[in-house]
């Protein structure tokens, strides 16, 4: 329960901070590019199993 509350509090604070940002089209595209780059760099390579040894 503590972890769940901690998770929600952190994301609620992050969401609140992001609401204060003046989102220009350039800033939005830059943020999207960074998120997409991080997502693609953390995905497993094609052809490999997505499960890791040890159940992690």
- Report pTM: 0.53
Confidence of residue 48 (pLDDT cuts 50, 70, 90): low
Q: What CA–CA distance (Å, rounded) separates 10 from 4?
A: 10
Mean of per-residue pLDDT scores for the chain: 83
Sign, Cα dihedral of 1, 6, 28, 41: negative
Mean pLDDT on 13-21: 94
């Amino acid at each position: 329960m503590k972890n769940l509350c901690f998770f929600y509090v952190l994301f609620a604070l992050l969401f609140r901070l992001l609401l204060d940002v003046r989102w220009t089209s350039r800033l939005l595209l830059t943020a999207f590019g960074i998120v997409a780059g991080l997502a693609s760099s953390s995905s497993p390579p094609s052809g490999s199993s997505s499960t890791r040894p040890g159940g992690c």
